[in-house]
Amino acid sequence: MNEKISKTEMLYTNSVPVDKLPTIDALKLMLRDHEKGILSVRKSLRKIEKAVKLIYTHLKKNDKSKIIYCGAGTSGRIGVQDGVELYPTFGWPIERLDYILAGGKEALTKSIENSEDDVENAKLVVKNKIFKNSDVVIGLAASGNTKFTGEILKLASKNGALTIAISNNPKGYILDQAKIKIILDTKQEVIAGSTRLKAGTAQKVCLNLLSSMLMIKLGNVKEGQMINLIPANEKLKKRKLMIEKYFEEKKNE
């Protein structure tokens, strides 16, 4: 096997092939593997802590700086999933969020062929975005070798932005293009190469921890409650009232 190939692409050899197992055993195997994905995040907690502290300092320098998520395929969609929740949950301004997907917005719902290898498009995106040195760019790639994401991180770094690379491959190319390197070493998938499985789970957990802790440090959480949530529906309106009532009662104690 070529050593340059990420382990996320290799054949899973720790079990009988998943399609040869009884349904319940196959489900148990996949679940155990997802648990291993979460454990890979635990091993990188210090790196995530460092990222939170640096991002916090970076964003405090300029009230117009942005958090920008970048990726291709599943990794790009996981970035979007994390980012879009920051406004309704914490009140983080929409204009201070951005997303760079290989293949553009269309890639959210369909596969765009060859987009993850399109370095020229990455250069064009960066030219149009005009990153500021106060921006934060988070690039994700399961294989760690996505050319589009690597190019975005490289050019964003040159422009002075704070760059974070999250790779499920310890030898991923994108790690060399960022200031902060977070490795989620999830290795082989039970369905070879299907990184929507534990690699994706690890990325989702990592981003969830990172962005939630960042929002806490920025003052959007008090006594475990989302004090700046945007009440955009009936459920959130009720939650907002409950939070206000809680703090009113605390004040009167």
Per-residue pLDDT for the chain (253 aa), expressed as one digit of tens each?
Answer: 334 689 999 999 999 999 999 999 999 999 999 999 999 999 999 999 999 999 999 998 888 899 999 999 999 999 999 999 999 999 999 999 999 999 999 999 988 878 999 999 999 999 888 888 999 999 999 999 999 999 999 999 999 999 999 999 999 999 999 999 999 999 999 999 999 999 999 999 999 999 999 999 999 999 999 999 999 999 999 999 999 999 998 888 7
Name the nearest CA neighbour of 159 among 134, 136, 131: 131
Q: What is this structure's pTM?
A: 0.94
Task: Sort strands 221-222 and 225-226 into parallel, antiparallel or unpaired.
Answer: antiparallel
Answer yes or no: 234 catalytic.
no
pLDDT tens per residue across span 87-120: 999 999 999 999 999 999 999 998 887 899 999 9
Write the CB contacts of 79 (distance below 8 Å, at least 6 apart in sequence): 69, 70, 71, 99, 138, 140, 207
Helix, strand, or coil (residue 61): coil
Of the listed 3, 9, 85, 223, which one is catalytic?
85
248 tagged catalytic: no
Question: What sign does the CA torsion over 239, 240, 243, 249 have?
Answer: negative
Cα–Cα distance for residue pair 173/196, rounded to 1 Å:
20
Place of tokens 């009440």: 231
- CATH architecture type of domain 7-222: 3-Layer(aba) Sandwich (3.40)
Distance between terminal CA atoms of the chain?
Answer: 67
| Set 9, 116, 151, 189: catalytic member | 116
